[in-house]
Amino acid sequence: MLIQSHIVDLETPTGTMRTYVHRPAGEGRFPVILFYSEIFQQTGPIERAAKIIAGHGYAVLVPEVFHELNPIGTVLAYDDAGRDKGNADKSAKDVQGYDSDNRAMIEWVQTQPWFNGNIGAAGFCIGGHLAFRAALQPEVKATACFYATDLHTQVIPNKPGQHSMERLADIKGELLMIWGKQDNHIPTAGRVQVYQQLTDAGLSFTWHEFNGQHAFMRDEGERYDPQLAATGYQLALQLFSNTL
């Protein structure tokens, strides 16, 4: 399936948010996937991942997750300086800022002639957490979270009662949780904690743990595992096909 890409700058309560849109070329109505990047924003690997999903019949929106904290169009490098800046941004943005970002994207796609009425979410690393956060929105029917960081910590600022794991009652759609057992960002104890809380909340979710490192989906760097990445895409696309 051929795709097309364009940019839309959406207004949010915390400023203009550049959003990259990748969707099938030609006429038609498609489900939407809100796709969240790592701390580096829309890098080459994130753009390619979004296009893979779009090529299976979805309109994929990639927001600049730290738009309040950087000039429009910022992409951080996969190096120490980029990592330090991205982690600083993660520690500076209150989690509720992502809620208003999600509302801006959802309200925009609802006005688009190519939208078929169904919305899902996906993301890698902090983007896995932000996809999980998007699942709090009532319109989101299915969410694929790849090695979602900081669900088990308090690193991302939040007000009382607003931590993502304190909002589980608001999740109505299905979750797909994918992890790497060798991921030093999310230790076994953290995964166990998240699994137990999701189970206790009675959520509809599927859980997969692979022998992979953090960022095994990123097609750059020594941690990339092409076989696991192919499996990850297959699982996410199966979820979206079944629900959207």
Average pLDDT over residues 181-202: 97
**Where residue 142 falls among pLDDT bands split at 50, 70, 90?**
very high
pLDDT at 193: 98
Average pLDDT over the chain, rounded to an integer = 97
Give me the pLDDT at residue 111, please: 98
Rounded to an integer, the average pLDDT of 210-224 is: 97
The residues annotated with a catalytic role in the active site are 125, 183, 214
Mean pLDDT of 206-225: 97
Condensed to tens digits (0 to 9), the pLDDT of residues 10-67 reads: 999 999 999 999 999 989 999 999 999 999 999 999 999 999 999 999 999 999 999 9
Output the pLDDT for position 81.
97
Kindly indicate the confidence band of residue 117, based on its pLDDT and cuts at 50, 70 and 90. Answer: very high
Q: What is the pLDDT of residue 5?
A: 98
Q: What is the mean pLDDT of residues 218-237?
A: 97
Amino acid letter at 58?
Y
Please write the tens of the pLDDT for every residue from 93-106. Answer: 999 999 999 999 99
pLDDT at 206: 98
